[in-house]
Amino acid sequence: MESIVFINGKVKFPITLDPGVWIFDDRKIEIDTYFDKDNVVVDELEDYTQKAAEHWQKEIREGAIVPPTLKTERKFEKIKLMTGTFGIPFKPFLQNAVPEEGATEIIVTADGKELSFPIEVANEFFLGFSKEGKPLRLEEDGGPLHIYLGDGSNRDNPIKNVKSFTVK
Protein backbone atom coordinates (compact mmCIF):
# COMPACT_ATOMS: atom_id res chain seq x y z
CA MET A 1 0.00 0.00 0.00
CA GLU A 2 2.96 2.35 0.35
CA SER A 3 2.95 3.04 -3.39
CA ILE A 4 -0.70 4.15 -3.50
CA VAL A 5 -1.51 7.88 -3.52
CA PHE A 6 -5.02 9.29 -3.06
CA ILE A 7 -6.91 12.24 -4.51
CA ASN A 8 -9.76 12.97 -2.10
CA GLY A 9 -11.63 15.75 -0.36
CA LYS A 10 -14.07 18.00 -2.22
CA VAL A 11 -14.18 15.84 -5.36
CA LYS A 12 -17.03 13.95 -6.99
CA PHE A 13 -14.84 10.92 -7.65
CA PRO A 14 -12.04 10.09 -5.19
CA ILE A 15 -9.15 8.54 -7.11
CA THR A 16 -6.48 6.07 -6.14
CA LEU A 17 -3.20 6.55 -8.04
CA ASP A 18 -0.67 3.76 -8.53
CA PRO A 19 2.54 5.28 -9.94
CA GLY A 20 3.95 1.79 -10.53
CA VAL A 21 1.84 1.34 -13.66
CA TRP A 22 2.51 4.74 -15.23
CA ILE A 23 5.52 3.38 -17.11
CA PHE A 24 2.93 1.93 -19.54
CA ASP A 25 1.05 5.23 -19.88
CA ASP A 26 1.46 7.09 -23.17
CA ARG A 27 1.39 10.43 -21.34
CA LYS A 28 4.73 9.78 -19.62
CA ILE A 29 7.51 12.22 -20.44
CA GLU A 30 11.19 12.16 -19.63
CA ILE A 31 11.72 14.66 -16.83
CA ASP A 32 14.74 16.28 -18.47
CA THR A 33 12.84 16.68 -21.72
CA TYR A 34 9.80 18.14 -19.97
CA PHE A 35 11.71 20.93 -18.28
CA ASP A 36 14.30 21.57 -21.01
CA LYS A 37 11.90 22.24 -23.86
CA ASP A 38 9.24 24.88 -24.22
CA ASN A 39 5.91 23.36 -23.27
CA VAL A 40 3.71 24.30 -26.19
CA VAL A 41 0.10 23.15 -26.22
CA VAL A 42 -0.48 21.26 -29.46
CA ASP A 43 -3.78 20.38 -31.07
CA GLU A 44 -3.32 16.62 -31.43
CA LEU A 45 -5.72 16.25 -34.37
CA GLU A 46 -4.06 19.03 -36.34
CA ASP A 47 -0.59 17.68 -35.52
CA TYR A 48 -1.63 14.18 -36.64
CA THR A 49 -3.18 15.52 -39.84
CA GLN A 50 -0.07 17.51 -40.70
CA LYS A 51 2.26 14.56 -40.11
CA ALA A 52 0.03 12.22 -42.13
CA ALA A 53 -0.03 14.71 -45.02
CA GLU A 54 3.77 15.04 -44.95
CA HIS A 55 4.16 11.26 -44.92
CA TRP A 56 1.72 10.90 -47.82
CA GLN A 57 3.59 13.51 -49.86
CA LYS A 58 6.89 11.75 -49.19
CA GLU A 59 5.46 8.42 -50.35
CA ILE A 60 4.18 10.03 -53.54
CA ARG A 61 7.60 11.56 -54.26
CA GLU A 62 9.84 8.67 -53.17
CA GLY A 63 7.60 5.63 -53.08
CA ALA A 64 6.76 3.56 -50.02
CA ILE A 65 9.78 2.18 -48.22
CA VAL A 66 9.43 -0.33 -45.42
CA PRO A 67 12.20 0.43 -42.96
CA PRO A 68 14.35 -2.50 -41.93
CA THR A 69 14.88 -0.87 -38.56
CA LEU A 70 11.65 -1.78 -36.74
CA LYS A 71 13.44 -4.22 -34.43
CA THR A 72 16.13 -1.64 -33.74
CA GLU A 73 13.50 0.99 -32.92
CA ARG A 74 11.71 -1.38 -30.51
CA LYS A 75 15.03 -2.21 -28.85
CA PHE A 76 15.84 1.50 -28.49
CA GLU A 77 12.42 2.17 -26.89
CA LYS A 78 12.93 -0.73 -24.47
CA ILE A 79 16.37 0.57 -23.45
CA LYS A 80 14.91 4.06 -23.01
CA LEU A 81 12.23 2.67 -20.65
CA MET A 82 14.82 0.71 -18.68
CA THR A 83 17.17 3.67 -18.18
CA GLY A 84 14.96 6.79 -18.34
CA THR A 85 13.65 9.07 -15.62
CA PHE A 86 9.95 9.71 -16.21
CA GLY A 87 7.07 11.79 -14.97
CA ILE A 88 3.47 12.50 -15.89
CA PRO A 89 1.28 15.64 -15.71
CA PHE A 90 -1.09 15.80 -12.72
CA LYS A 91 -3.86 17.78 -14.44
CA PRO A 92 -5.67 14.83 -16.13
CA PHE A 93 -5.94 13.00 -12.80
CA LEU A 94 -7.32 16.07 -11.06
CA GLN A 95 -9.80 16.67 -13.88
CA ASN A 96 -11.02 13.05 -13.64
CA ALA A 97 -11.61 13.48 -9.89
CA VAL A 98 -13.90 16.45 -10.77
CA PRO A 99 -13.30 19.02 -8.01
CA GLU A 100 -16.55 20.38 -6.61
CA GLU A 101 -17.70 24.00 -7.04
CA GLY A 102 -15.84 26.27 -4.69
CA ALA A 103 -12.71 24.10 -4.41
CA THR A 104 -9.77 26.51 -4.28
CA GLU A 105 -6.78 24.65 -2.93
CA ILE A 106 -5.05 21.31 -2.73
CA ILE A 107 -3.39 20.04 0.41
CA VAL A 108 -0.44 17.75 -0.38
CA THR A 109 0.48 15.35 2.42
CA ALA A 110 4.20 14.64 2.06
CA ASP A 111 7.07 13.93 4.45
CA GLY A 112 4.61 14.04 7.35
CA LYS A 113 3.69 17.66 6.50
CA GLU A 114 0.73 19.26 4.81
CA LEU A 115 1.55 21.72 2.03
CA SER A 116 -1.14 23.98 0.58
CA PHE A 117 -1.28 25.01 -3.08
CA PRO A 118 -3.91 26.94 -5.08
CA ILE A 119 -5.75 24.60 -7.44
CA GLU A 120 -4.35 26.55 -10.43
CA VAL A 121 -0.79 25.79 -9.31
CA ALA A 122 -1.66 22.12 -8.65
CA ASN A 123 -2.97 21.82 -12.21
CA GLU A 124 0.60 22.44 -13.37
CA PHE A 125 2.20 19.78 -11.15
CA PHE A 126 4.44 17.25 -12.87
CA LEU A 127 4.68 13.93 -11.01
CA GLY A 128 7.97 12.05 -11.19
CA PHE A 129 7.53 8.30 -10.78
CA SER A 130 10.74 6.64 -11.99
CA LYS A 131 14.45 7.28 -11.81
CA GLU A 132 16.94 5.62 -14.14
CA GLY A 133 14.40 3.00 -15.19
CA LYS A 134 13.31 2.02 -11.69
CA PRO A 135 10.21 3.04 -9.72
CA LEU A 136 10.76 5.53 -6.92
CA ARG A 137 10.90 3.54 -3.68
CA LEU A 138 9.90 5.01 -0.34
CA GLU A 139 13.09 4.21 1.54
CA GLU A 140 15.73 4.91 -1.10
CA ASP A 141 14.19 7.63 -3.27
CA GLY A 142 11.44 9.31 -1.26
CA GLY A 143 8.77 7.71 -3.42
CA PRO A 144 6.30 6.64 -4.61
CA LEU A 145 6.26 9.94 -6.48
CA HIS A 146 7.86 13.36 -6.52
CA ILE A 147 6.05 16.62 -7.23
CA TYR A 148 7.72 19.11 -9.54
CA LEU A 149 6.15 22.54 -9.85
CA GLY A 150 5.09 23.42 -13.39
CA ASP A 151 7.69 26.15 -13.74
CA GLY A 152 10.50 23.74 -12.77
CA SER A 153 11.61 25.95 -9.86
CA ASN A 154 11.98 22.92 -7.56
CA ARG A 155 13.52 20.69 -10.22
CA ASP A 156 16.57 19.91 -8.07
CA ASN A 157 14.56 19.59 -4.86
CA PRO A 158 11.11 18.09 -5.58
CA ILE A 159 8.47 17.40 -2.96
CA LYS A 160 9.02 13.77 -1.90
CA ASN A 161 7.19 11.03 0.05
CA VAL A 162 3.78 12.12 -1.28
CA LYS A 163 0.88 10.27 0.36
CA SER A 164 -2.23 12.16 -0.78
CA PHE A 165 -3.80 15.15 -2.51
CA THR A 166 -6.80 16.59 -0.64
CA VAL A 167 -8.98 19.08 -2.48
CA LYS A 168 -10.38 21.81 -0.20
Contact 122, 104 (CB under 8 A): no
CA distances, 140 to each of 131, 134, 137, 150 (Å): 11, 11, 6, 25
pLDDT, average across residues 121-143: 90
pLDDT digits (tens, 9 = 90+) for 63-116: 766 666 666 667 767 777 788 899 999 999 999 999 999 999 999 999 889 999
Question: Which domain CATH number covers 114?
Answer: 3.90.420.10
74 within a domain of the structure (yes/no): no
pLDDT digits (tens, 9 = 90+) for 27-36: 899 988 887 7
29 within a domain of the structure (yes/no): yes
73 within a domain of the structure (yes/no): no
Structural domain harbouring 160: 5-63+83-167
Local structure of 110: helix, strand or coil = strand
% of the chain residues with pLDDT over 70: 89
pLDDT of residue 60: 82
pLDDT of residue 74: 73
pLDDT of residue 100: 96
pLDDT: is 56 or 159 the higher one?
A: 159
71 within a domain of the structure (yes/no): no
- Furthest-apart CA atoms within the chain: distance in Å: 62
